[in-house]
Amino acid sequence: LMHLTRKLIEIRTMLLSIDQSDALKLPSIVVIGSQSSGKSSVLEAIVGHEFLPKGNNMVTRRPIELTLIHTPASKAGEQVEYGEFPGLGLGKITDFKHIQKTLTDLNLAVPSTEAVSNEPIDLRIYSPHVPDLTLIDLPGYVQISSLDQPESLKEKIAALCERYIREPNIILAVCAADVDLANSPALRASRKVDPLGLRTIGVVTKMDLVPPEQGAGILTGNRYPLHLGYVGVVCKPSGKKGRKETMDVVARRGDEYFRENREQFYGSSSSLMVGSDTLRRRLMEVLESSMASSLHGITNAVQLELEEAQYQFKVQYNDRRISPESYVAETVDALKARFKEFTTQFRKPAVREKLKTMLDERVMDVLEQLYWSDKRVNEFTALGESRTRPDEVEPYWRYKLEAASSLLTKSGVGRDSTLLVADGLRALIDSIAAGRAIHIPPARLRAPRRVENCIKPYKYEVEIDEREWENGRKEAVQLFERELSMCEDKLKEIRKRVGGGRRLNHLVTYVRSLEERERERKKKRLAMIASGEDDAVEPTEEESYKYPPGQILDARHAALYTDRLSTLKLRLAALKSKRCRSGPENDMLCPEAFLNVVADKLAYTSAMFINIELLDQFFYQFPREIDSRLLYDLDRKEIVDFARENPAVRRHLDLQERKDKLEEVMKQLNSLSTLRSDVKPTPRRP
């Protein structure tokens, strides 16, 4: 039968790690009693060592789940006794003073504002002198609230005890012999949950403090009958301060007391249960039989839970098993694949194209700024259509072209192109790492100065051959055609919005006349200022309510688009003209083609440099970075944490673990089935 308890204690521990629900609980012995009832002394007598926190006002603040494991004495006769805190990872502790110190620290770590904590301390003690038992030591009931113990402490402790003394646990109610049992908080609490006393054992301490007859009277249990009976003990250490006594000495003193008063305790009329050895044996019997009778119920409960877990595992995951390691490895592969897929957007041609688009816009701005808003633009167009030879063209247009080219090359292309790529990469990394708790910093990407340097040559001189020219011209034509159709679309939109072309024409005419008047007004005012009449009242502009303001705004835009359209058409014609087609010597008269070539060269060189200097290194580095972050740098715990950060994986792992544990428990329970037939009900008295 020993074997059964032992096995069931192991199973109980596993069940506790599966979940805390009452359905999956095997019984344990819960020790309750008021402060100073002698609770600690009883527990220490059972273990055979002093190991519980002591000291003035030192209350147990957390439940201690004490598992005692009987180990065979070694052949050499030496005693291998040690404790372990599985939750703390401190290893084997052979010095019981150290265990005491650890328990004291754990208790003191509970903030005094909380007073008690529900979180149990797991302590296992291995010894040849202990039986296989599980005991839960709870904070003692507080009788009187003192100043430094908040009033709520009393209720908190009572609530904590109430949780533990539920079925199927066995209640060890500790009461002192010198206190009337009617006043024992432990018995009162147990009666509430176990009115018939079917699972309560009374332990009467300090038997030496009352006359033997009175003590024996208590143990008969006639006044407060308990099915499992009362055990009387004396666990009195010597009164002398500072004298160290082994628990053996203390226990012997207890036995002595009962021997001295044998007729009261061992008399023929009564066979009472006394002494710590008897207590130990009694606890073993009670726990064994209680465990045994729980066996059937718990087996059924575990079977049900297991079937449910297996069903869920099948339905939800099709029985696919995962491990945190395999998850991390898969993640790494997925990240790399994703990365590779995304990097195509950073291949040289792609980068070049992006840069070119950016530069095209800039070319348009430069043209607008330097040519189309020039007062001599008509002259310029006429010049293109004339037969003037390139070397006869006014130097004005040569300077213009140089200014335009330098505006383009000095516009910070280097910085902008690096930024463009850096932003792209950052977005790429974000999208790869999205939803995952990995932070992968991009390689150092800011090197605008170096890109700037490599494009410097174009700031001074741009050499263009025939082929490049023709290319640039064609691209300029395309660019202008795109721009043209965009303007037309805009105009179409506006036309639709204001209600047709005729209406828009009216509006535009009106807006243009407004603009004309405004110009006149300004001119007049300037004249007035020049002739010293500047204090004259400014003529107020007549407000017009002829059209709604939204339509006026549309008309203004339409006017701009129309102007732009006619410019674009003129320039397109020029670009397609024989003169522009004839070659780079006509660059002054075809600035669009020229600037396009410059933009092309800038994009080409920048892209090349960015690829060589920045991207190649990054593309080499990044997959290795993923490896080192996820595969090499993480320890087992971090891998598990990483995997569990993904809620889906966490659920999968949780269910899988639950299923595994339940399967293991079921296996263990089945292996006990042979022992089950041996189980006998607990005798009422020994």
Cβ proximity to ligand GDP: between 48 and 414 the closer is 48
Alpha carbon distances (Å) from 309 to 299, 314, 494: 15, 9, 66
Cβ proximity to ligand GDP: between 142 and 665 the closer is 142
Q: How far apart are CA 371 and CA 383, in angstroms?
A: 13
Cβ proximity to ligand GDP: between 40 and 67 the closer is 40
Stretch that binds ligand GDP, among 15-23, 162-170, 228-236, 529-537 (CB under 6 A): 228-236
Stretch that binds ligand GDP, among 165-173, 235-243, 497-505, 589-597 (CB under 6 A): 235-243
65 touches 120 (CB < 8 A): yes
Q: Taking the CA of residue 246 as centre, how many other CA atoms within 13 Å lie in the half-sphere pointing to its CB?
A: 4
Interface pick for ligand GDP out of 5, 28, 41, 551 (rule CB under 6 A) = 41
Neighbour order of strands in the sheet with 64-70: 82-84, 121-127, 64-70, 133-137, 29-33, 170-176, 200-205, 230-232, 273-274
Cβ proximity to ligand GDP: between 53 and 591 the closer is 53
Interface pick for ligand GDP out of 12, 25, 62, 206 (rule CB under 6 A) = 206
Cβ proximity to ligand GDP: between 138 and 589 the closer is 138
Q: How far apart are CA 367 and CA 574, in angstroms?
A: 14
DSSP type of residue 276: H
CB of 285 to ligand GDP, least distance (A): 23
CB of 300 to ligand GDP, least distance (A): 38
Q: How far apart are CA 598 and CA 462, in angstroms?
A: 7
308 touches 223 (CB < 8 A): no
Interface pick for ligand GDP out of 154, 236, 338, 629 (rule CB under 6 A) = 236
DSSP type of residue 72: P
Stretch that binds ligand GDP, among 18-26, 233-241, 286-294, 592-600 (CB under 6 A): 233-241
Q: How far apart are CA 21 and CA 526, in angstroms?
A: 92
Interface pick for ligand GDP out of 46, 165, 234, 669 (rule CB under 6 A) = 234
CB of 145 to ligand GDP, least distance (A): 16
Q: In this structure, is the dihedral angle defined by the CA atoms of residues 456, 457, 459 and 464, taken in order, positive or negative? A: negative
Helix pair 636-645, 647-671: axis angle to 10 deg? 120
By CB under 6 A, tell whether 65 contacts ligand GDP. Answer: no
Interface pick for ligand GDP out of 205, 261, 418, 611 (rule CB under 6 A) = 205
Alpha carbon distances (Å) from 328 to 334, 335, 636: 10, 10, 11
CB of 176 to ligand GDP, least distance (A): 8
Quote the tokens at residue 175: 């009461």
* Sites for ligand GDP among residues 118-157 (CB under 6 A): 140
CB of 213 to ligand GDP, least distance (A): 17
33 touches 235 (CB < 8 A): no
Interface pick for ligand GDP out of 103, 235, 477, 603 (rule CB under 6 A) = 235
Cβ proximity to ligand GDP: between 18 and 173 the closer is 173
Residue count at the site for ligand GDP (CB under 6 A)?
17
Q: What is the CA radius of gyration of the chain?
A: 47
By CB under 6 A, tell whether 261 contacts ligand GDP. Answer: no
Cβ proximity to ligand GDP: between 12 and 39 the closer is 39
By CB under 6 A, tell whether 221 contacts ligand GDP. Answer: no
CB of 16 to ligand GDP, least distance (A): 25
CB of 257 to ligand GDP, least distance (A): 9
By CB under 6 A, tell whether 35 contacts ligand GDP. Answer: yes
By CB under 6 A, tell whether 40 contacts ligand GDP. Answer: yes
By CB under 6 A, tell whether 276 contacts ligand GDP. Answer: no
Cβ proximity to ligand GDP: between 36 and 562 the closer is 36
By CB under 6 A, tell whether 37 contacts ligand GDP. Answer: yes
Tell me the H-state helices in 410-535: 413-433, 448-454, 466-498, 501-530
CB of 35 to ligand GDP, least distance (A): 5
361 touches 431 (CB < 8 A): no
Cβ proximity to ligand GDP: between 35 and 290 the closer is 35
- Residue 57, SS3? coil
47 touches 211 (CB < 8 A): no
By CB under 6 A, tell whether 58 contacts ligand GDP. Answer: no
CA torsion, ordered 634, 639, 644, 650, to nearest 10 deg: 170
CB of 156 to ligand GDP, least distance (A): 17
* Sites for ligand GDP among residues 4-33 (CB under 6 A): 33
**185 preceded by a cis bond (ω within 30 of 0):** no
Binding interface with ligand GDP (CB under 6 A): 33, 35-41, 140, 205-206, 208-209, 234-237
